[in-house]
Amino acid sequence: MNGGERSSSGEVDFSGLIEEIARQKDRTAFATLFDHFAPRIKTYLLRFRMSPDSAEEIAQETLLLVWRKAETFDPSRATAAAWIFAIARNQRIDAMRRRKRDLTELDPSAEPDPPIEPDTALTSSEREQRVRDALKRLPDEQARVIELSFFDETPHAAIAEALKLPLGTVKSRARLALNRLRELLGDVK
């Protein structure tokens, strides 16, 4: 049976079409494959929340690869549809990797931090030591609220629950502790 003919059940022999493309670069066989699979591949890709333009582009790239690699198709290993959708899947994954790489290249947070100047590191270290010393001078209940709130980044409501205190008490202790730290540290910037 010629690749473009229909079987007795009326179905198109897609494997035969791929074989025709492989043997003769048959444009009619390719057009039949394209007309059938392009919209199905696009629908498949849209399920992965791709934009319609990206899905269309990948569908076209997939079918272009079918044209180029038709001679590698082995009907004993997969159906034509399985082979074509495997190509589409791989194209989708490649596109996601390219997009992720492109986003990483554009993301300023992906760049390493500039080296810290020695004098800046010393100043920072001294400031941290002054803050630690000032925290030791706070009442324990205030220091605990500050540690949880600022160092552990725990919300006040969670601190209240953890310490079994009313929320207002937690907020009062935080306010009192911050005022006292301002007095103790004064000029720390």
pLDDT digits (tens, 9 = 90+) for 30-52: 999 999 999 999 999 999 889 99
pLDDT digits (tens, 9 = 90+) for 77-102: 999 999 999 999 999 999 988 888 76
DSSP state of 108: G
Distance CA 172, CA 97 (A): 50
pLDDT digits (tens, 9 = 90+) for 108-124: 665 666 776 766 666 77
Q: Same domain for 27 and 105?
A: yes
User: Which among 19, 16, 18, 62 is positioned nearest to 38, based on CA atoms?
Assistant: 62
Q: Same domain for 70 and 129?
A: no
End position of a domain, from candidates 77, 109, 141: 109
Q: Is the pLDDT of residue 5 over 60?
A: no
Q: Is the pLDDT of residue 128 over 80?
A: no
Element (DSSP H or E) covering residue 112? none
In this structure, what token pair is assigned to residue 28? Answer: 């009619």
Average pLDDT value over all residues in the chain: 85
- Give residue 149's pLDDT band: very low, low, confident or very high (50, 70, 90): confident
Q: What is the pLDDT of residue 188?
A: 55
Distance CA 159, CA 82 (A): 56
Q: Same domain for 105 and 163?
A: no
Q: Same domain for 140 and 171?
A: yes
End position of a domain, from candidates 73, 89, 109: 109
Q: 159: domain CATH number?
A: 1.10.10.10
Q: Same domain for 98 and 125?
A: no
| Lowest mean pLDDT across 37-46, 100-109, 155-164, 172-181 | 100-109
Record the pTM.
0.52
Count up the domains in the chain and report the number. 2
Specify the amino acid at residue 172: S
The domain containing residue 30 runs over which residues? 14-109
Handedness of CA 54, 60, 62, 65 (dihedral sign): negative
Q: Same domain for 93 and 124?
A: no
In this structure, what token pair is assigned to residue 33? Answer: 């494959």
